[in-house]
Amino acid sequence: MKKNQSFWLAVLAGFTVLAAVDTVIHRIWLGDLYKSLANFWRPSEEMQANAWLPFLSEFALAFLLAVIYPIGREKKPPLEQGLRFGVLMGLLIHLPSILIKYYLYPYPRFLFAAWFVGGVLEVALAGLAVALVYQKD
């Protein structure tokens, strides 16, 4: 497979996984909790007007995962290497962020734990998706 084609397929695979897992985490798993904390969020109209931002964020992350993954890729199975890459990237992104959020915001502790675990899982699965695309190169 051509490198340029693999790159864009890796971006698409990463984005698809991020969007799907994000939906499961935030709409299904945490949806009721979010409703009970409605006073912490922006008004619904404002959230809907900016609904494109999470997709931009997911695309940016998928793009960066697809850029970074091949740089340090080793000759190991994509399952092992993709999950390792995804977990490390998930920790890099979410651990510092969740500690700062915990310091700043008075949300329930469960929400911070759910954001951290869900975020690392989400990026781990996206890392795996990216690795599976690049395995053919």
Query: Which tens digits make up the pLDDT trace of 66-102?
Result: 999 999 888 889 999 999 999 999 999 999 999 999 9
At residue 3, the pLDDT reads 73
Q: Tell me how far apart the alpha carbons of residues 128 and 132 are, in angstroms, rounded to a whole number.
A: 6
Single out the residue of 62, 63, 85, 64 nearest to residue 131, CA to CA. 85
Residues 6+ positions from 103 with CB-CB distance below 8 Å? none
Q: How far is CA 99 from the centre of its chain?
A: 17
Whether 33 and 110 have beta carbons less than 8 Å apart is answered as yes
Q: Tell me how far apart the alpha carbons of residues 50 and 41 are, in angstroms, rounded to a whole number.
A: 13
At residue 33, the pLDDT reads 94
Q: Is the pLDDT of residue 130 over 90?
A: yes
Give residue limits of the domains in the chain. Answer: 3-134
Give me the mean pLDDT over the 108-133 stretch.
Answer: 97
Q: Tell me how far apart the alpha carbons of residues 127 and 13 are, in angstroms, rounded to a whole number.
A: 9
Task: Please tell me the pTM assigned to this model.
Answer: 0.92
Arithmetic mean of pLDDT over the chain: 94
Q: Is the pLDDT of residue 124 over 80?
A: yes
Q: Is the pLDDT of residue 31 over 80?
A: yes
Whose tokens are 């007007």? That residue is 49
Whose tokens are 């979410």? That residue is 94
Q: Is the pLDDT of residue 111 over 90?
A: yes
Where helices occur in the chain by DSSP H, the ranges are: 3-23, 31-36, 44-49, 52-68, 78-104, 109-134
At residue 24, the pLDDT reads 97
% of the chain surpassing 70 pLDDT: 98
